[in-house]
Amino acid sequence: MLHQGIAVRSGLSIGTVVIVVSLVVLLLWVPLLWVPLRQRPGIGTLTNVLLVGLALDATMAVRRHRPGWAGGWCSS
């Protein structure tokens, strides 16, 4: 709901908001947990951030053309 609220208020697509929020979380995560855990995010983590956001935008683009899809649970 955080992502959807930011998307509605900012006018950005929900996929873009997911990418931006995920990157912010990663930027906060690295200094707080990377040092004690000695585990930094890899290329897979960054790729996942991008793919989830892009897949969400693609899904929403298809869904907008089919209003009855998924029972209307995901509205924008």
The pLDDT tens digits of the residues spanning 16-41 come to 999 999 999 888 877 777 767 777 77
Mean pLDDT computed over every residue of the chain: 81
Domain extent, residue 10, equals 2-65
CA dihedral defined by 48, 53, 56, 61, rounded to 10 degrees?
-140
Would you say residue 76 lies in a domain? Answer: no
Task: Label residue 74 by pLDDT band (50, 70, 90).
Answer: low
Would you say residue 73 lies in a domain? Answer: no
Rg (alpha carbons) of the chain, rounded to whole number: 15
* Average confidence (pLDDT) over 34-55: 86
Would you say residue 74 lies in a domain? Answer: no
CB count within 10 Å of CB 26 equals: 14
Would you say residue 54 lies in a domain? Answer: yes
pLDDT score for 17: 95
Would you say residue 48 lies in a domain? Answer: yes
Would you say residue 18 lies in a domain? Answer: yes
| 61 has pLDDT over 90 | no
